[in-house]
Amino acid sequence: RFPLSERAWKYLPVIASSIPMGGSFLMGRMQRETSSPRLFEDEEDDDLFMDSVPQVKEQPLNPAVRQEHPLTHKKFAGGEVRLNIDEYLSLLAKMKTLQSIKPPQNYIVSEICMKGETKGKIDQCAQFDLDIHLQQLHDEWTCINLLPTSIVVMESNVSSPASETESKEEFAFLGVSGGHHCLFVQKSGSYSVKLHVKVPFASSRAQGLEIRIPLAVKNSLDFLVHQNDVEITAVPSLGSSLSCSNTEEENLTKTPQGDAWTRLSCDVPPTSHLNIQWKEKVEDEAPTSIDEQEKQVIINVEQYTVHSIGEGVVQGTTELSYRILHGSRSSFEILVPTATRILSVEGDAIKRWDVLINERKKEQQEGDGEDEVWESAERENCKLLKVWLDYGIENDYQLILNTETDMESTSCDVVVPAISCHGVNREKGFLAIEARTNVEVSELEQQGLARIAFNELPQRLIDRSVNPPLLSYKFLLSTQTYLNLDVKKHNDAEVLIASIESAHVQGTLSEDKILYNLTMRVHNTQTQYVRVRLPENSTVWSSLVADRAVKPAKDSKGDVMIPLQKSRTSDNKHEAFSVELVYLTVLPQRLQRKGKVSLSICPLVDIPINHLFVTLKLPSTNDYGEFIGDVQEVNHFSSSPPTSESLGGYPPQNMMSNAIFEQMPQQQSFLPRKQRARKKGKGSLVSGILPVKIQMPQGGKSFYFERLLVMNESFTVSVTYKRLKQKTRRLGYSRRYAAFVCFAIFLVFALLWRLFGQ
């Protein structure tokens, strides 16, 4: 029951269409009330309903409704609508369902416009005007990271949905949280954030900066450097356009400050890091020449190289750690042997790289002239790798080369490729040799290398090695190093690809049948099946791998094949998984009052078993002698045997009652007597489908056996038995005896009464 306002009458058709066919609106007792901007008296109900039907504001009233209710909303404002409780609850359920649907994330940054300028002076950092457009998708407090705190915010302005209305309530605030300038918003809608910030330079040379921004769908950059004819690069960027103050189009136009300038305009793909570099433009020279300004730079290099030998190939990974002082460097030159293939070059801000064959730059020796001479030297068998960067690099830089060199054969003499850097002041490093396959590596000849121990290698070099290094060296000048190795390939030896860590055979004997449960803990890398040769007259009941039912198969020899899974690897170790096989064996004859019985305690398994455990449960109505066989009987196990993972998976099937085996005085069979009388057949055994999980019966006398290292062997034991004599009472005789005693006592009391009672 809701008192309606003027707005309510407009939404009556919408409410009527939301109610099931069985419901109805009863309108009456129209009372005139003060006009209210809400639909319902409760503000929460009003907002909840209006959010669920935002499209009805533009829909006219249904003519059929107008004919049925020819009352105007202005005349009868404040009337009442009545509906039953089921219809009302149905409406609320629909509203809550719509309200509970949330977007995958709370906000989206749609566009960032960046306009910046700098004078290239260390005491005057770069200034940017950022215009960030974003949408808040859900009505809840959200913290949106905008810029890192290394950037100084000078001015800020935020336009939110509240600014479009007359409400004075604020829904957006700027603050600092977690090392970022953040925007805190509550109400959904579009927001525009305008910031005027100062960004520090990346180094003291004031020729580059890096700015971190939120990921946006669209980015644009307009950057101005107050220098004439400057080369500006932005990474990443697309569609870059450079303009400067000395072009004919600009007609020597000056900035408002009267300075010369160079402007970069480009689009930026979605990224969180934007790197901007600028330097004076120089004329293009030969691809192998170094900028005159870069000649004054001091560059030291530390080299970390790992060569992996095996399968007729020497695979190398070289990390070049540059230390750049008093300047920047935008290109690097590296000498590589001609026979070595360069697979990849990895590093930050790589523009491109190229290889020049059979050309080497002769290094300038002390006392020589300043000019460096190029000479063709095919006898030196080297090539030049040159790497160009998007911008000049200062301080530290890492470059990684992945190379490959063919060997003459798998067993031969190998000259290890020597990689050296050109145009550097000093170079030192470390070299490690490892084997990827079963090869024997020995040193034949070396120059310029010092042999060191394995633990003297840097940790970064050890981390790059797949296997422990066989040979370790250090050097002070890579151009003078030479290493010749003797590599011998040996034949592969056969190894186990699957092993059974432990196995537990549990057998429960009845009068003419024995039910076995074989549980194994298996490590496997390549084996597809484990084959088990069961005793004669055996039937498979169930097979599980990792507590999941699997379909067993049979090969031509009749062995049961259980499919295996691959062991998971954790910390370079193969994890074990369980394999469970349940089978029933029919004995040649039933147990008599006394005699001797032979029992199989372990079937033949084609995978070696490290530790075998056997538990036999025999009827408690018999007395047993000593067991004779190849497996030693023990009082208790030396360690815990593997157990069936009966928790979870398929529920155990009550195919045998545990109570029968706990008592066992009559040695009942696994099947009820009525089923034993039936004609023999397959019963519920079906091939080609997943089996059920069987629960082993409990009860009887337990005997334990144990053995180590079982390989392609099956074991049986034999034991003599004799049925115990059972003491029984005849209930009829006992009752007559008790009646006779009672009658005799009665006669004695009667005689005593007659004698002494008178």
Q: What is the pLDDT of residues 648-661, one digit of tens each?
A: 333 333 333 333 33
| Weakest mean pLDDT among 208-222, 539-553, 732-746 | 732-746
pLDDT: which is higher, 164 or 300: 300
In this prediction, residue 707 carries a pLDDT of: 94
- pLDDT band at residue 729 under the 50/70/90 scheme: low
Q: What is the pLDDT of residues 253-263, one digit of tens each?
A: 444 445 688 89
In this prediction, residue 574 carries a pLDDT of: 86
Domain ranges of the chain: 2-100, 107-280, 295-489, 498-672+688-723
In this prediction, residue 684 carries a pLDDT of: 57
Distance CA 353, CA 342 (A): 11
Q: In this structure, which CATH number among 2.40.110.10, 3.40.640.10, 2.60.40.1730, 3.40.50.720 belongs to the domain 107-280? A: 2.60.40.1730
For tokens 């090869």, the residue is 439
| Weakest mean pLDDT among 33-37, 330-334, 349-353, 734-738 | 33-37
Region 708-715: what's the mean pLDDT? Answer: 92
Topology adopted by domain 295-489: Immunoglobulin-like (2.60.40)
Q: Give the distance, in angstroms, between the CA of residue 161 and the centroid of all CA atoms in the same chain.
A: 40
Beta-bridge mates of residue 233: 277
pLDDT: which is higher, 517 or 170: 517
Q: What is the pLDDT of residues 104-130, one digit of tens each?
A: 888 999 999 999 998 767 667 899 999
Assess whether the previous peptide bond of 236 is cis (omega < 30° from 0). yes
Q: Collect contacts of 290-298 with beta carbons under 8 A, ≥24 apart.
A: 290/331, 290/333, 290/423, 291/330, 291/331, 293/327, 294/327, 294/328, 294/329, 294/330, 294/331, 296/326, 296/327, 297/324, 297/325, 297/326, 297/327, 297/328, 297/329, 298/324, 298/325, 298/326, 298/327, 298/425
Region 608-620: what's the mean pLDDT? Answer: 94
Three-class secondary structure assignment of 212-276: ECCCCCEEEEEEEECCCCEEEEEECCEEEEEEECCCCCCCCCCCCCCCCCEEEEEEECCCCEEEE
For domain 498-672+688-723, the CATH class is: mainly beta
Residue 372, both tokens = 């460096």
Residue 478 clears pLDDT 70, i.e. is over it: yes
Distance CA 322, CA 588 (A): 83
What is the chain's mean pLDDT, rounded?
Answer: 78
In this prediction, residue 561 carries a pLDDT of: 94
In this prediction, residue 318 carries a pLDDT of: 94
pLDDT: which is higher, 756 or 126: 126
In contact, 587 and 513? CB cutoff 8 Å? yes
pLDDT: which is higher, 326 or 61: 326
In this prediction, residue 572 carries a pLDDT of: 75
Packing angle of the helix pair 43-52, 85-100 (nearest 10 deg): 70
Whole-structure pTM value: 0.49
Distance CA 717, CA 632 (A): 10
Q: Give percent of the chain with pLDDT exceeding 90.
A: 37
- pLDDT band at residue 162 under the 50/70/90 scheme: low
